[in-house]
Chain A
Amino acid sequence: MRLLRILFVLAALTAVPSVALSKEAQPKPPADFVPVENAPPGEQIPAMPLLGTAYGFIWVGVFGYVWSLARRLRKVETEIAELEAKRR
């Protein structure tokens, strides 16, 4: 019984300051939410660069692929013409 009483006192002694400390460390919650017209600059992700990059990537990709295809086709068709000329 005595041991129990000691443990209870010890627990109370350690719990009180820890509760007080945790209350002190915790930031105060906002009393109310304040609306703003625009989010702070650091919070915004601008849409335009993302949109521009997406469309730009596809445009460049399509042009690049068409150019590469045309170049490969021209090369192989020149080779065919040379081989056929050699056969004649």
Chain B
Amino acid sequence: MALAAGMFAVAPWMIDAAPYEATMGLVYKIYFFHMPSAWMFLTAAIVAGVASFRLLFLKRPRADHWVTAAAELAVVFGAFTLVTGPLWARKAWGVWWVWDARLTSSLMLFMIFVAYLLLRKYGGPGSDKLGAGLALFGMANVPFIYVSVNYWRTFHPPTSVVPTLPVAMGIPLWYCVTAFTLLFVILLRLRARLEHQRARVEALYLAEDEA
């Protein structure tokens, strides 16, 4: 946690040192937090989908804790992506939002995980399996979101931008990706621990009732 906090504290200096982009100028620097947030958003959806598969088809009840943890992180990182993207677009494209394949499918993925959290909160018994089904649909959306910029007409930069970045822009980007990945792993473990502890509380109450 201290390492992640330290990396986030240094990040503004790394981003400040990055050069301006020729057509977008200063505003493109939103990219250094927007892109890692988007990657963590998609990673969270994949983790939730894999854990849902384990819950539904391999009958591992503890996998439910990981689905819940990853779904909550998908909402958190999804919110970061969907807020920072329009702030960048306002200056770069002249509009806050366009209904292209990338933006629309990202919004749909975000809504799937918001629906998951609402289902788990208010769905009652059996909502774990229903929710896992929903999370599987969320994971199925991920490859579509990733390649959508390469197949459909859009203003959004294509996936080829990342490997072709000049070194001066690539270093701060990969630094931020590392910081976000570290943060994601820590938050996922902490959130899953919260679910394990909640299950323990329930078991203790059951044991108390039986005694």
Contact = CB atoms under 8 A, between A and B. Distances in A.
B79 to A, nearest CB: 7
A65 B76 contact: yes
Contact of B91 (A50, A72, A77): A50
Q: How many B residues are at the interface, by size bracket? A: 35 or more
A80 interface: yes
A65 B200 CA distance: 23
Contact of A51 (B30, B76, B83, B190): B30
A47 B194 contact: no
Contact of B90 (A45, A62, A69): A45
Q: How many A residues are at the interface, by size bracket? A: 20 to 34
A83 B84 contact: no
Contacts of B37: 58
B18 interface: no
A3 interface: no
A83 B197 contact: no
A54 to B, nearest CB: 4
A41 B176 CA distance: 34
A47 B20 CA distance: 12
B90 A54 contact: no
A87 to B, nearest CB: 7
B56 interface: no
B88 A79 contact: no
A73 B207 contact: no
Interface stretch (B21-29, B42-50, B106-114): B21-29
Contacts of B30: 50-51, 54-55
A80 B204 contact: yes
A4 interface: no
A8 B206 CA distance: 97
